[in-house]
Amino acid sequence: MRFTPAGLPAIDLRLESESEVEEAGHQRKVQVGIRAIAIGANAERLAKQALGTVWRFTGFLATPRNVKTVVFHIQEFQQD
């Protein structure tokens, strides 16, 4: 956990997803990882959760200034 210049708690993390989907009549294993950030009360709650547990996240995607990667900003989460 870190704190923003405004004094808000923030946590940087990486979310991983893995599933199987059907594409063109065949099963396909899909894996993806994305950088994420939670700020404020969500950061404090998320910091208390065990690694490797399954959650459902909602939020938005943004590209930070001077960076060419996408970051998922977590606005809400619940155990799946």
Decide: 40 and 8 in contact? Cβ < 8 Å.
yes
CB 62 within 8 A of CB 70: yes
Give the residue extent of every domain in the chain. 2-79
Topology of domain 2-79 in CATH is: OB fold (Dihydrolipoamide Acetyltransferase, E2P) (2.40.50)
Is pTM beyond 0.85? Reply is: no
Q: What is the residue-level pLDDT of the chain in tens, covering all 80 positions?
A: 999 999 999 999 999 999 999 999 999 999 999 999 999 999 999 999 988 888 999 999 999 888 889 999 999 999 87
Q: What is 25-72 written as a DSSP string?
A: TEEEEEEEEEEEEEETHHHHHHHTSPTT--EEEEEEEE--TT--S-EE
Our CA angle for 77, 3, 50, nearest 5°, is 40
